[in-house]
Amino acid sequence: MGQVLIDHLAVAIVIVMIAAVAFWHVWAFYLKPLAIPKAEIDAIVDELIDRHGPDAEDWARSYEEEAWHRSDIVQQGRWRRIRRELWRRHRVGEWE
């Protein structure tokens, strides 16, 4: 009986650890970047468009990939949000 409890405890600990890592990843990649003010995102997007023109999205993607190589999940989420704003502006015709 005691061994069965120990076996189940180990499984429960592993499941809790996996859930904690998943929650941390969701927090860092999706939720924390949402706390960045829209004005800051807009300022970065405006600067990218002014500096790089039609290549602004490529630059934003390269910054996101750089963050990926550094394993900086928060910066990945930040640049993902910036790229989404660039795509939104492109769809409505604000820049090419």
Alpha-carbon distance of 55 to 61, in angstroms, equals 10
H or E segment at 67?
helix 56-69
Q: What is the pLDDT of residue 80?
A: 93
Alpha-carbon distance of 82 to 68, in angstroms, equals 15
Q: Flag whether 84 is in a domain.
A: yes
Range of the domain at 60: 2-91
Question: Of 89, 1, 93, which Cα lies nearest the Cα of 45?
Answer: 89
Q: Flag whether 37 is in a domain.
A: yes
Q: Flag whether 96 is in a domain.
A: no
Which regions in the chain score pLDDT beneath 70?
1-2, 4-5, 96
Q: What is the pTM for the complete model shown? A: 0.77
Number of domains in the chain: 1
